[in-house]
Each structure stands twice: as structure tokens, then as C-alpha cells.
Chain A
């Protein structure tokens, strides 16, 4: 690279060579890849913890861990999967795809983009380092309810608080960047209602992040001062209230749930029309449904707290508000089914993941509706029924969409095609094993098994063993997934610029492997309308 100060020259240089490319990069594609690889590594670490959990629960009795270590496993598994795997993976997808989908050359704030990624490995490192401290890693659940996480937690908890702060910075900066990019960097001729659904859902998600993450930061800051500076926000002996913690946590936590699922809705809304060779049904109702879900997500947090002793009026309100979410979510499912209806479908790997997403996410939605009914929730609360529910929406929902997106856009990222046969084997392996893993957990919860217990009585033995076997098989499927990805990157056959017959979207108008700097000249109105999902 020459020392040219003329900015018009920027479009012609390539990336730096070697490690410095990744440390110094401000390119949205590089940063997208960094996010995705980070998320993948975290997925494997969090997954390894899940394997330890399922091994311990394979049969009654304590076999390979101590109760305290088991609690560390469930806590860190949850934290790493939510903050380390699912959220960064979607930010990675957003980084890669949003500029290409809106005809922009890059993200609006590229240097901040670099920073918001590079915070993550440090935050993750600090979180994981607590395993090696006296007192061990956090063992109070990923929801870290006070006072178990304040008065009763080891000193390493302060490192956990710091890590959560860093993760929050990163997420907020990522969200600001996406809002700035979508609103300012869009091709001049692209109207908001021309934007692809993935961009819409990410825009809405960004507002959720900006609203929710500071609340989480507030919660951990109050924890910090309760632990170290003599305040008593969550301590009744000082005039505080431990239930206040739960209100604050879930005021963050419920929007967080939709932060993890809205971009997934976006992904599926791209894949289904492509392989049905038919325009997305109800584009505008999809946009409005996403916005309604986002709004409702801020006013239903109390449904996580029905057993805390909330007054009846509060319980009734949160029940009604929660049930309302079924309406826009239903609209989405009906729209996807209508998109398939009278289409001309083929079943390449991304489509298989997307269809199974619709089936399995809907099952998670049904158990969610059941959980919203307060009296029934009294029996479900904190049992394996809840565990089954949120794994159906987060694994076969959010993670499924991430994997679907990976296969769908991999040709555009690498310019190469993955091995379709192996990918299909991987899909069937994963989809069968994941149901063996999580479906029996519904029965366990209904039969009375509490969550977060390292050992259980004999009546729960059979379903736990089945669930663990499914878990090991599902865990092993990621070995094949890793192989397929590396095989594609190294040996994949060259892909077409538009590898999927029915695919629409500006990203497919780029070179087979999207060029390092794309859309230096904004796409024309004709091209935008031709590639719009809202046709």
C-alpha cells in the first residue's frame, strides 16, 4: 500500500497481509468473519460445557463432578451461549450482510466496528479466566439472581461483572453502528420498505439492544456496589429488595430473548422465498409484526417472575400482555407457510434448516404460550419444561437460523460451494438428535424435575438418559459441521454469483466471492426494485 492521502484511492487497496489484517481491519467483511469465528469457538466451548452437564445427568448420582462445579457449568454454558455465541454470530451476520444488502460500501462507523469486535475476546477471556480463580467461576445461574450473586458469591464475581460490562459496550456499539449504517448508508434510491427483511429485523433488534443493554449494565453495577461499597439495593436488611433485581434483570432479559430471535426471523424470511421461488408473503405485515414483537418485548418481563409473590393484578396484566405476543408471532409463521404454498420448492441445505426452524420454533412457541398462562406456569416455573421451551426457541430457533444463514451465504462469503451431500447428512443428524435431546425434557419438567439440579431421583432416570444420548449425538454433529465448513473454504468448487435459482437481493449481484470493497457506486433504482423482497 502506498502512502496516498487522497481518499478517492481507498477503493483500490486490498487487505493488509498476515495477522495485522485482522487486528487493524475496519472492513465489514473481515469484521463479520471475526465475529462469526469468535461465535463459533464460543459455541464449541459452551457446547463442551453442555456435554459435561449431560454426562453428569446421564444417570442418577454424582459421577464426574461436584455440585458446585455443576452449577458453574450450567451458569457458564448459559452465559457463553447467549453472550458469546448467539449474539456475536448475529452481529457477524449483520456486519457481513447489511452493507451488501443495502448497497453500501461498508458500515457507517468502521473504526468503532473494529473496537466493538476486539472487546469481545477480552470479555470472553475474563469470563473464562474465573474458572482458575479461588472460588471458581460464577455458579449462580446465567440469570445471576441476588443475593446468591451478591452476598453469597465468591470474589471472582467481580470479574464476571466486568466481563458483562464489556460485553454490553460491545453490543451497544454494534447496535449504534447498524442503526447508523441502515439509516445513513442505504443506497439513495432504496426506500425503507424496499429493505430486505434481515436488514429490517436487525434495525429493530438494534433498538432493542440500545434499550436493554444499559439496563443490564445498571443491574451489574448495583451488584458491584452491593458487593463492595456497602449499598443494599438487593438486600432486605438494608432496606433493599432481592426481587428488584429480578425486575431489572428481566427488563433486560425479555428484550434480550427477541434480540436473539428477530434476526433469525429475518434469515428465514430470505431463505424460504428463495427455495419456494416465490416472493415473500406479506412483506409489510412481516415488518409490522417484527416491530410489534419488539414493542411487546419491553412490557412482558414479569412473566419470568410469576412465583416471586407478585400481586394478582400484576400477574393478570403480564399474562394478558404475554399472550398477545402469540399474535404477531403467529402472523410470521402463517406468512412463511403462505410463502411456501403453491411455490416450486427445492430442498437444498439452507431450506432444510429453514423449514425445520419453522416446525421446531413453532413447538417452542406453543410451550411458550403454555408458560404464559399464570396458574399453569406455577407448575412449570423452574422445571425442565422451561429448559425444553427455551432450547426449542434458542437452539432450533436462533442457532438453526445461524446455521441456515451460514449455508445460504457461504458461497457469497467464500466464492465456493460446500459439499451438499455431507451438509444434508449433517442436517438430518442434527435435527433428529436435537429432538431426542430436548423433547423428553418436556416430560421431565411436567413430571416434576426442577432445572439446575446436578442429581435427581430415580423416576427421572429414563428420560434423562435418552436426553443425554441425544445430547452426545447432537454435540458430535458439530464435528461434521466444522469439517464441512473447512472443506468448503479449502476445497469447495467455485460457486456462481447467484448460486440459488430463486435468490433475490443486492448481495447476489456482486462477484461470486463478494469483492473486498463492494458497492463503491450505489446500485440503481431499477436494480434495487428488481432485487426487492417487497415486489
Chain B
């Protein structure tokens, strides 16, 4: 009996789950028409399953209570009924067809990206996202925020722990947006539950998806395809703003880009290079090569005393710019600016006891590109 109670209890929990959706029992209703349609389908199929479960389990539970030997029941001997079998083959088919019709129409809508008015290119990297606004000429990398990284192993974990990044993706509200999604290394998957968008990022191929966001706000998601060591540490944060604010943000980004360009043409001092280099190293390199440059033996090579970091500068610049084919080492040509690359190479050749004492200037990187 207590078995039956525990199952019934389970069902009650599932039903009340619906009423407490905001406490993280159920799927989000989301902020786009696609997400709402998906939620509707999800709830429809869920209630159909609950209804079938109630019928089947009630019959079974009734039988378990009534048809027992201890009640003095003598077993019947029937073991076939063509009528019953036709019925329980036919009825499920009808139910399935009724489910398939709305599911097909939602699917066709969510795969049709032709109505989009703007395009964002999303590139997955181990373990960060890169966002490109091709028309606006904006491009940036979005890493897990340092505040979260600092408390992974110990400390007080705050709200949005592991769901915050250094550079949010900024999008305008009420605009049909197309995402072009790809990857630079392994397969990732870009998922923001509130948008109803989950699309794999495949290296060498471009997938698409679309969304029109109805409400201003901040929406969070995560990578959902196992992509190696830090798969759990590459969140997505989207800042959805009004169209006017979006236009302001775009011009601010374009202005900032000009400043960065100007900086890269001056000559940098040692301290400047090393302090910027350490920052860049910690966000872009440390997840593989380690904060102390020791790497992971057999998986990621160490930089401490490595032949590249203590050898020919040209080779060092080349590997950072172009990566190394056949390994996890990516090229940073399109991810980092000249100053960042110059700084990080300077840092790598100075830190971890490498003590090479070279200063690499942004101009050298520009020339090597």
C-alpha cells in the first residue's frame, strides 16, 4: 500500500509543480512567441501523459488491491481479447496524431528564420562565447565573470553564481533576430531557455535560429553540449534593451573600438604590458594552461619552462595568432586585439619563472598578422 501512496504522492507533487513554476519546478514560459508555443506543447503533452497515467495506474492499483490471493480471489483464465487489443492500439494512435499536429506547426515556425531583421553571429570556443554583430562591426568575447571564478572552490556563492559574464550580449527588444551559430573547436550548444532557442555550434558548419524578444530584461543560459573540461563554466547572459538604448550601446561600442585601435599603435612599457597580460592570460589561457602555467599533464601542455615560451619569439607569436592544428590550441587572431596579444605573450615569457625578459609591442603583432 505504501508503494501506491508514494506513487500518488509523486503525481500530486507533479501537479502542484505547475502552480509553483517560478520556483524552478517547471519549464519557463519564456519571453518569445517560440518559447511560449513550446511551453504550451510541453504542458499539453504533460497533461495527456498524466491523464493516461491516471487511467492505467488506477486500473493497476485497483487490481493490486482487489485481485489478491489473500482476498480469496481465484484467478480467471482469460488471456486474449482481439477487441481490447485493437482498442488499445487504435486509441493511442489517435492521441499521437492529435499531439503531432500542433507539434509540427510549432516546429515549422521555429525553424523559419526568414523573417529576421538583424543577424548576430555566435561562435563557441573552449570555454567562452564570441559574439559578432557583422553589420555594426562589433565583436567581443564573453567569459565567465571573475567574481564567479573566484568562489568555485571556496567562498560565499552569490546570486547568479556561474550565470554571469564579463561582456553581456546586448539585443534590442521587439526585433526579429537571426542567430548564426558555429564553433571554433568542439561542439557547443547555445541555449537561453527564456528564448526557446537551443542550437548546437558545430565546428566548420553554421546553424541558424531566430527569436523575437517581447520583454526588456536580463536572460541567462548555459552551454548544453559537453565541450570539455570547463563545459559547466561558459554561461550566456543576454541584456535585452529598448531599441533606443540599443542604438546608444552600438555607437558607444564603435567609439570604444576606435580607442583600442589608437592604443595599439603606441609603444607600451613593461609594467603596462605585464599587468594587462596577466589579465588576458587569466581569462583566455588559464583554463587550459593553468593559473600557475603548469597545464594538465597529457591533456594541456605546461607553459612553465616550455620550449615555445622560452624559445623563439616568432614561433611564440605565431602559435598564439594561428593556433596549432590537430590540438586544442586555438588561434587568437580574431579573438584578441594587438595590444592584448602583445601583452599576454610578454606575460607568458616573464611569468612562471620563464624570465625571458622580452617586451613585445602591439606593432610587432600587427606586422605578424
Contact = CB atoms under 8 A, between A and B. Distances in A.
Interface of A: 60-62, 67-68, 71, 133-136, 139-141, 145, 147-148, 151-152, 154-156, 235-237, 241-243, 276-283, 285, 307-309, 312, 315-316, 319-320, 323-324, 326-327, 330-331, 333-334, 337-347, 352, 355-356, 358-359, 362-363, 366, 369-370, 373-376, 378-379, 381-383, 428, 431-432, 435, 439, 443, 446-448, 450-460, 463, 502, 535
Interface stretch (B220-228, B267-275, B308-316): B220-228
A308 B186 contact: no
Contacts, number: 309
A375 B53 contact: no
Given A60-B161, A309-B199, A453 B231 contact: yes
A473 B187 CA distance: 36
Given A341-B67, A379-B38, A319 B27 contact: no
A344 B73 contact: yes
Nearest to B232: A453
A461 B181 CA distance: 31
A458 B159 contact: yes
B117 interface: no
Interface in B62-102: 63-64, 67-70, 73-81, 84-85, 88-89, 92-93, 96, 99-100
7 contacts: A145-B186, A151-B327, A280-B79, A334-B88, A341-B59, A366-B53, A456-B232
Contact of A343 (B34, B76, B186): B76
Interface stretch (B148-156, B248-256, B347-355): B148-156
Contacts of A326: 92, 96
B76 to A, nearest CB: 4
Given A340-B63, A455-B232, A152 B204 contact: no
Given A281-B80, A369-B49, A381-B189, 10 more contacts: A60-B161, A145-B186, A145-B187, A145-B225, A148-B226, A151-B328, A242-B187, A315-B111, A327-B93, A456-B162
Given A151-B327, A457-B162, A452 B226 contact: yes
Contacts of A456: 162, 232
A312 B108 contact: yes
Interface string B187-208: 1010101001111101111011
A242 B202 contact: yes
A373 B104 CA distance: 9
Interface stretch (B40-48, B128-136, B337-345, B361-369): B40-48
B297 A134 contact: yes
Contact of B79 (A67, A241, A282): A282
Contacts of A327: 89, 92-93, 96
Contacts of B46: 370
A276 B200 CA distance: 49
B218 interface: no
Contacts of A135: 296-299
B263 interface: no
Contact of A277 (B75, B151, B191): B75
Given A319-B107, A362-B56, A450 B152 contact: no
Contact of B161 (A236, A337, A457): A457
A374 B108 CA distance: 10
Nearest to A444: B24
Contacts of B158: 458
B141 to A, nearest CB: 20
B251 to A, nearest CB: 33
A471 to B, nearest CB: 17
Contacts of A435: 6, 10
B110 interface: yes
A431 B347 CA distance: 57
Of A319, A344, A439, A463, the most chain B CB neighbours within 10 A belong to A344
Interface in B105-158: 106-108, 110-111, 126, 151-154, 157-158
Nearest to A141: B226
Contacts of B356: none
B45 A369 contact: yes
A447 B63 contact: no
B166 interface: no
A312 B2 CA distance: 47
A331 B88 contact: yes
B163 interface: yes
Most buried by B among A279, A282, A379, A428: A379
Contacts of B88: 330-331, 334
Q: 4 closest pairs, A vs B, by CB?
A: A236-B204, A135-B298, A453-B232, A134-B298
B56 A333 contact: yes
Given A331-B89, A456-B232, A374 B56 contact: no
B107 A315 contact: yes
B57 A359 contact: yes
Nearest to B157: A60
A346 B200 contact: no
A268 B92 CA distance: 22
B26 interface: yes
Contact of A450 (B13, B77, B106, B224): B224
